[in-house]
Amino acid sequence: MSVVHRIRLPIGAVPLVEVGHLAEPAEVLATRRPPGPGMSIPVAARLHRSPAVAAACLSVTPGSYLEAGERLAEDRGREVVVPSACLFLAYDLDDGTALVAPLLGNEPIVGHVRGEVSAIDDEGMELRIGGALLEGVGGTGGAVHGELRVAVHEPGEELRASMIDVDATGRIVVGGSRASAETLTRARAMGVAGIVLGGLLDKELRDFETTQQRRRQVGGTRGDFAVVLLEGFGKVGLDPGMFAWFRAHEGRMASIFGSSARVYVYDAEPPPARRALPRPGDRVIAHRRPHAGRAGELVRLLDAPHAAASGISARSAIVRFEGGPTAIVPLANLEATEPVPGA
Amino acid sequence: MTVGIETELAVLIDVGSAWAKASVIGRVRGRWRLVTRVAQPTAWGAGELQRALLERLEAAVDARLAPRMGELLASANRIECHTARRPGRIVVAAVSRELSGGAARRAAEAAGWQVAEIVTLDDGRSLADRLATLQSVETDAWVIAGGFDGTRSRRALEAAALVASARRRGSGPVIWAGSDELADEVAALFEAEGCSPVGNVRPDPRRESTAPLREHLQGLLRTVVAREDETHLAAIALPRAIGALAVGSGLRILAVDIGARGAISALAEPDGSFDSRIRGGGGLAGLAGVPGSAARVSRLAGDAGDEATVADLLQTLRSRPASLAETPEELSATHAAARVQAASLIEDAAQGALDLVIGCGSTIAGAPHPAQAARILLDGLRPIGVTQLALDAASVLGPLGTLPDDEISEGIGLLIEDLLLPLGTAVVCRGGEPGRMAMRVTVHRAGWPDTAPVEVRSGQLQVVPLARGQEAELTIEPGDGVTLGAGRRSPRIQALATGGAIGLILDARGIPIMLPRRGDDRRAMLASWRDALAREPAPGVERVA
């Protein structure tokens, strides 16, 4: 199976690859020169004009990119040129100066995915990826890649700090039902590329983000790190079917995108699919408390709407959860999970 | 075999971003009545909605009609409204976060846009960071604001230049909502017709004027994002229906719908004019990840668990918007979140005294108990004075608002018996000292013996039974320093109250509601208000909290 991944290119980015190129996750696909801190260039003084008159002599409008030596303003044989490549931002009518932002050195744009470049346009490029895409419900961080390593034994097991060892360095660690902010901090400190979990407390995620932001401000962290949640927020385990799929693909290369909650696993079989509106006999996953993250079998649809403990009356089903207990669950809180082909 | 009974059906469908609601109305012996309704996650699809309706109809109608129901339903008129397929995303670039930036953001949100990014020249970021942020954001339109009218602000031009540097030529439209002196200069930064000037959102240091930008953005939203027939958009249709209802009833009406993603309010005057507000991030999902929101919701709910638990729930509402609260705690937190969003929806609107407040949508009108819906309306909107409360329980107002102008009133008139579920009448006052009498209310019901006046103290909520269809004349005597909104010449105020599922609600909790600082006291007070509204009344006995 294959999926298409799109990479946005900012204005001024120069692609380094062509359509048909086979890109590796760490490969630089394009470069750009970002603007740096602003500086002022006297215009009126150099043209020997008043600030108001000099404004009419500008050759470019704010927002224009200029190369080194390119003309900024011109009048009666006198001209003002920019000393280096820059972005012209504004002209000050009070003192007759131009505010420009010099362009810094080339900055690489890394794709973080493995695939074939299938299209390139002004706004971005598309790569066709041979593998599986999982879309989660939340996450944090940028794009990272590494080999998959399953660190827990059960889909509902918490990922603890002690499970993060040197073997996890540079890898994407798959955990179970949650991880504390301390575990995430240790993982980052140990050089783990990223973490995939069933669930995580929103508070733990925010605490972790806050500590990372503070460390960044004082220059204490380098490199990227990402977390993706696949099932929900809170103590929510991975779907056992999904957990088995991850185990079957341990050691495969994967890329994860924290802020957009996407996981690509290369050269992988299709993951267990999800479907709304399950039917009797389907394997299902429940998404709300008190059953959030639990898997089971939908035994029967109730003939009439059923009122939950909250008082909400809705179409409901009897579900036999793994481990034995049976419960009535609103159908809207259930998703059918399709078995992995060949599993 | 021929059937000896005929009918005519119409299906009214409201497709929201998370839930779809459908009602079947039928005409039998010349009268249109609501026959049945269903609601289901939108993701289940139109086929499942049709199947569920058919199943309900076959069980509900005359047995002679049942075999033909599929055919009748398939040929029934369908009147449908829906939420915009995707939210319009907008970037705000401004000089000041508090002044121009804040005003532009509020205008954009009130017009139904989702603010994808806000960059201001005082946001503490470096120039390079601001440019990188603007270059990486995906947006449908840009708003630039800064500088007071009659001035030439260099900083405002810088904000415009930032957008000119980050935006690809010919991409999303740019709106200049800053100093009028700079309009031509800013327009010159963009391609011809790429930038439109509107009135300054901050014309001077002491005045905010968001209406011109909001109105422009409302129009732009329809052309840029919602290319479908705009009259079928719920954000357009609901206010139209409320406008027609206001004309027909001669009432001043506020309708509110807190959806999964966005929220809509429509304030209609008896002359039919209306002011609608759409907040892209004003739905239940909009509170997830917002600093402080989990703590606020936890505090307002009282019985929903701690801040961390509520934070997880808010994220669940964002990531799985069609799922339902199964536990009382989760429902309580969801309703508290709806109250927060309802308050936020009207925070900068001068709403004044209202005659009728209508709760719409699954969150409010679909609440399991009418008391919960009343609580969202009362606590979120704080309608001062004497106001009727009702629910659009069958979700028919939106679909009716898609009809041609001259047919909306007709549709409302035909369905008047089933249109709204009355909750009762609320008397909300402001002011007074804690523990002292806020108002004394005498309730006169025709044919009933006069009862002693009801005294309500500041901080109290009392309910007097008044059933649906009953009316009562009220004599209200506000206490010292207490007001019901309008100025008064007499120490007594006369008003008419109509009954409903809750009754007559006497609310002296103040505006805004002040809660005790101590957690135990706060929880006890919230529980007492909840119980006062929800308790099944003994006839003629007030419920007090």
Q: In what order do the strands lie in the sheet with A39-42?
A: A39-42, A97-102, A86-92, A65-66
Please, what is the end-to-end C-alpha distance for chain A in angstroms?
Answer: 17
Same domain, yes or no, for A197 and A319? no
Same domain, yes or no, for A212 and A259? yes
Residue A82 is assigned to a structural domain of this protein: yes
The verdict on pTM exceeding 0.90 is no
Torsion of CA A6, A11, A16, A19, to 10 degrees: 40
Same domain, yes or no, for A167 and A248? yes
Residue A16 is assigned to a structural domain of this protein: no
Asked if the interface predicted TM-score (ipTM) of this complex is over 0.85, the answer is yes
List alpha helices for A107-199, DSSP H. Answer: 181-189
State mean pLDDT over B347-375: 91
Q: Which of B224-233, B484-493, B508-517 has the lowest mean pLDDT?
A: B224-233
**Is residue B203 over pLDDT 60?**
yes
- pLDDT tens string B384-434: 999 999 999 999 999 999 999 889 999 999 898 899 999 999 999 999 888
Residue A95: pLDDT band with limits 50, 70, 90: confident
- pLDDT tens string B293-318: 999 999 999 999 999 999 999 999 99
Residue A342 is assigned to a structural domain of this protein: no
Name the token pair of B372.
Answer: 């919960």
Specify the residue for token string 């140990």: A190
Same domain, yes or no, for A217 and A258? yes
**Is residue B13 over pLDDT 90?**
yes
Chain A residues with CB inside 8 Å of B328's CB?
309-311
Same domain, yes or no, for A293 and A253? no
Residue B229: pLDDT band with limits 50, 70, 90: low
Say which CATH number the domain at A260 has. 3.50.30
* Contact call for B131 and A87, based on CB within 8 A: yes
The residue among B501, B16, B424 whose CA lies nearest residue B260 is B16
B161 close to A (CB below 8 A): yes
Chain B residues with CB inside 8 Å of A277's CB?
41, 43-45, 48
Residue B196: pLDDT band with limits 50, 70, 90: very high
Supply the pLDDT for residue A341.
Answer: 60
Residue A118 is assigned to a structural domain of this protein: no
A243 close to B (CB below 8 A): no
Q: Determine the structural domain holding residue A64 and report its residue range.
A: 39-102
Domain termination residue (choose one: A266, A282, A313):
A266
Residue A130: pLDDT band with limits 50, 70, 90: very high
Nearest CA in chain B to A103: B128
Say which CATH number the domain at A315 has. 2.30.30.30
Q: What is the separation of C-alpha A180 from the centre of its chain, rounded to a whole number of angstroms? A: 20
- More confident call, B120 vs A13: B120
Same domain, yes or no, for A157 and A200? yes
**Is residue B373 over pLDDT 80?**
yes
- Structural domain count, chain A: 3
Name the token pair of B334.
Answer: 């969801």
Supply the pLDDT for residue B545.
Answer: 59
Same domain, yes or no, for A70 and A91? yes
Q: Give the type of residue at B341.
A: Q
HSE on the CB side for B346, CA within 13 Å?
25
- CB burial of residue B264 (10 Å; 0-12, 13-18, 19+): buried
Distance CA B70, CA B65 (A): 10
Same domain, yes or no, for A87 and A189? no
Residue A20 is assigned to a structural domain of this protein: no
Distance CA B370, CA B335 (A): 12
Residue B287: pLDDT band with limits 50, 70, 90: very high
Pairing of strands A334-337, A274-275: antiparallel
In the stretch 8-67 of chain B, residues with CB closer than 8 A to chain A read 40-41, 43-45, 48, 52
In the stretch 351-390 of chain B, residues with CB closer than 8 A to chain A read 368-369
Domain termination residue (choose one: A102, A122, A156):
A102
Tell me how close the Cα of B409 comes to any Cα of chain A, in angstroms: 32
Residue A8 is assigned to a structural domain of this protein: no
* Contact call for A291 and B128, based on CB within 8 A: no
B311 close to A (CB below 8 A): yes
Same domain, yes or no, for A218 and A193? yes
Same domain, yes or no, for A261 and A280? no
Q: Are B35 and B26 in contact (CB under 8 A)?
A: yes
Q: Are A69 and A39 in contact (CB under 8 A)?
A: no
Same domain, yes or no, for A281 and A233? no
Same domain, yes or no, for A256 and A142? yes
Residues in chain B: 545
> Residue B136: in which H helix or E strand, if any?
helix B127-136
Residue A242 is assigned to a structural domain of this protein: yes
Residue A5 is assigned to a structural domain of this protein: no
Domains of chain B: 8-82 (3.30.420.40), 88-224 (3.40.50.360), 425-545 (no CATH)
**Is residue B125 over pLDDT 90?**
no
Q: Give the type of residue at B110.
A: A
Q: Which of A74-88, B32-46, B346-360 has the lowest mean pLDDT?
A: B346-360
Where does residue B488 fall: left (phi above 0), alpha (psi -120 to 50 degrees), or beta otherwise? Answer: beta
Spatial CB neighbours of B314, under 8 Å, sequence gap ≥ 6: A202, B284, B287, B288, B289, B293, B294, B297, B333, B337
List alpha helices for A15-50, DSSP H. Answer: 44-47
DSSP line for B419-470:
H-EEEEEEEE-EE--TTSEEEEEEEE-TTS---PPEEEETT-EEEE---TT-
